[in-house]
């Protein structure tokens, strides 16, 4: 298998990673732990894009306050859409990063870094680089946790079962949907 075929054969992993982050963020109230970073928070912020993965296929773009917690977002997941881009917020040691994570390429876009503590221009440059490296290390550590679970068939079956249960609508969701009046 050449490199292009290998990339095509594994391009779903970034989207699955976003689902895994979404699930863990909601189930653990945003708390994550990595050995090299300790405990920190990760939340889905105000932007989420989901797609069926087909070229020119249907796409759902949700925005506003916590779109990942909406019925529409989970309904899109249940219908086979995967997150392709999400705005995430990481809070660690009183520092906060806000960024877009592209699931197809696992690229960080539009990162807002924590406030700088130094005043000297040279020091600010080094501090920015350090903050970018710290964010990159957090994402890499989370991805490593995901891959460890993903390659263990038994563990992955547990995870996917838990995700399927999480996706099932609650009684409150059912009541909310039932109370919506449709136009005549």
pLDDT in tens, 97-132: 999 999 888 889 999 999 877 777 778 888 899 999
Q: How far is CA 55 from CA 13, 51, 59, 102, 168, in A?
A: 17, 10, 10, 16, 28
The highest-confidence range among 4-13, 19-28, 67-76, 107-116, by mean pLDDT, is: 19-28
Cα(63)–Cα(48) distance, integer angstroms:
6
Chain mean position to CA 29? 14
Q: Distance (Å, rounded) from C-alpha 134 to C-alpha 128?
A: 10
Tokens of 150: 């993903």
Which residues 6+ apart lie within 8 Å of 38 measured at CB?
92
The closest alpha carbon to 163, from 108, 109, 82, belongs to: 82
161 in Cβ contact with 35 (< 8 Å): no
What pLDDT does residue 8 have?
61
With tokens 């970018």, the residue in question is: 132
pLDDT for the residue numbered 175: 60
Distance CA 80, CA 65 (A): 23
Report the pLDDT value the prediction gives residue 66, as an integer from 0 to 100.
Answer: 87
78/102 Cα distance (integer angstroms): 20
The predicted pLDDT at position 12 comes to: 76
**pLDDT score, position 55:** 61
pLDDT tens for each residue of 42-94: 999 999 999 887 666 678 888 888 889 888 888 888 888 899 999 999 999 99
Residues 6+ apart with CB under 8 A from 26: 68, 69, 166
């Amino acid at each position: 298998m050449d490199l292009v075929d290998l990339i095509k054969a594994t391009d779903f992993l970034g989207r699955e990673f976003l689902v895994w982050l979404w699930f863990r963020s909601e189930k653990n109230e945003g708390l994550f732990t990595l050995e090299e970073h300790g405990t920190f928070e990760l939340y889905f912020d105000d932007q989420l894009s989901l797609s069926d993965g087909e070229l020119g296929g249907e796409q759902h773009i949700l925005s506003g306050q916590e779109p990942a917690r909406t019925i529409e977002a989970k309904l899109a997941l249940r219908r086979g859409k995967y997150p392709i881009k999400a705005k995430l917020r990481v809070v660690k040691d009183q520092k906060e990063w806000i960024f877009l994570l592209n699931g197809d390429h696992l690229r960080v876009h539009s990162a807002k870094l924590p406030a700088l503590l130094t005043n000297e221009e040279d020091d600010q440059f080094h501090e920015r680089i350090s903050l970018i490296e710290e964010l990159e290390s957090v994402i890499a550590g989370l991805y490593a946790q995901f891959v460890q679970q993903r390659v263990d068939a038994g563990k992955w079956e547990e995870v996917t079962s838990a995700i399927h249960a999480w996706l099932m609508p609650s009684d409150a969701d059912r009541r909310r949907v039932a109370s919506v009046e449709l136009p005549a």
